[in-house]
Structure 1
């Protein structure tokens, strides 16, 4: 990369932080560097996908720039639990952006949903984005023993007929969590987010746009199910899954 256009210039271009003359200069440089142009286009596409997935009211370039700085700070250390670097970037950005409103509407819950529900929604959105990327292959293999050994999280038994499509370890405000995407006969495409939260047992439902959410906690671990389905139906499924989890 030549001295007149550097990585900061490209980041500022993606974040819409340049004036028209600067943008023109960057675009002229990109015209002579097709590989970098393709990467910038991918960054622009990912930014727009995240904004649409999280239903943000307009662009928030400062948040995106901060998310990128946070991503760079985390990426060198890495989460050595099978999380691809691109998924780290998408997840960190999603979690950062998710600090804004996400349109939660209480269902059976008598109190506002716990903070881990917002983390689950961010992980779900990031998974949807990752699965839509050709460069990010699906990772459907589930090894509950390895996940428990490395994260301390005990997964419920997957019901018969459920087909795992993707399993990833995701960062969250509560610590490392496990995000699973499954195809189910009852609920269609379903996400399950598992993270350690402490505290006693609880359960509830909530609506986030057209996504139904049901959660329960047991032995200090939260399990959040999400699908485009009635939250009450998800709650019935969550109750059945609760009995398949061994107590610590």
Structure 2
């Protein structure tokens, strides 16, 4: 039985993992009977994987990924397979160069997306701000670093001068109990320090992302992952996060 016809746009969607299971099986059946087409699709999949690895690389670009980006740049410079994707060709052609530029300028990690725990940190901050406005929910201003360490294996950095504890809470997460400390900075800004004893792909140096009304800086120190969240501008939060990350743990 001959495999059913596959449209070029479906090949693009297959590479981008945008097809439902039935159409993926139809594409794979076609590729099984067309070695030349299969080789072309596999090359596109490999190029896509190379870009992902390059975007997640920390420090110097790993051996081979730079040349893979060059090959991808030359490959994407050709004519797209379907007219639908033709307007995107210029963006795709420069993708590898953009990723390399990000790594060179930042001299550090360039990550495609933050670790999953960052979403928990953002929710913990919003919950902390909600608690602050509720008289029926008293806040706990006492932070016993030794007790927290024994119970959760989480160590917190020493707070910068002028920072005061407003509230301390333990939150559940998929990786285990997480610690959140709401603090007031020396400038009286309310921010949240979130920490969890779990491995992650967070970098050792804080990275800041803009989440609209809030900014989140995240980093890792050994087996403990941290996030600093607040309403400050990303630039201001980056300074605060680097200050906190440089302090000793207790």
TM-score of the aligned structures, taking structure 2 as reference length: 0.52
**Match in the other structure for 1:44:** none
Equivalent position to 2:224, from 221, 224, 228: 221
8 Å Cα contact 2:115-2:201 kept in structure 1: no
Q: Does the alignment pair 1:157 with 2:158?
A: yes
SS of aligned partner of 2:114: coil
SS of aligned partner of 2:113: coil
**Match in the other structure for 2:181:** 180
**Match in the other structure for 1:47:** none
**Match in the other structure for 2:248:** 245
Q: Does the alignment pair 1:170 with 2:171?
A: yes
Give 1:204 shift: 1.4
| Distance in 1, Cα, partners of 2:168 & 2:140 | 6
Larger RCO, structure (CA 8 Å, separation 6 or more)? 1
**Match in the other structure for 2:215:** 212
8 Å Cα contact 1:177-1:193 kept in structure 2: yes
Any stretches of 5+ residues in structure 2 without a counterpart?
1-105
Moved over 4 A (4+): none
SS of aligned partner of 1:145: helix
| Distance in 2, Cα, partners of 1:187 & 1:215 | 21
8 Å Cα contact 1:189-1:227 kept in structure 2: yes
8 Å Cα contact 1:169-1:176 kept in structure 2: yes
8 Å Cα contact 1:215-1:235 kept in structure 2: no
In the TM superposition, what whole-angstrom CA distance separates every residue of 1:2-57 from its partner, at most 9, and x where no partner exists?
xxxxxxxxxxxxxxxxxxxxxxxxxxxxxxxxxxxxxxxxxxxxxxxxxxxxxxxx
8 Å Cα contact 1:119-1:173 kept in structure 2: no
| Distance in 2, Cα, partners of 1:186 & 1:174 | 33
**Match in the other structure for 2:140:** 139
Rate the CA distance shift 1:187–1:230 in 2: closer, same or farther, 3 A.
farther
Give 1:162 shift: 0.8
In the TM superposition, what whole-angstrom CA distance separates every residue of 1:48-104 from its partner, at most 9, and x where no partner exists?
xxxxxxxxxxxxxxxxxxxxxxxxxxxxxxxxxxxxxxxxxxxxxxxxxxxxxxxxx
Give 1:200 shift: 5.9
**Match in the other structure for 2:236:** 233
| Distance in 2, Cα, partners of 1:126 & 1:199 | 23
**Match in the other structure for 2:48:** none
Write out aligned runs for 1:78-93 (5 A): none
Larger CA Rg, structure 1 vs 2: 2
In the TM superposition, what whole-angstrom CA distance separates every residue of 1:186-223 from its partner, at most 9, and x where no partner exists?
47111111112214660311111211111110112111
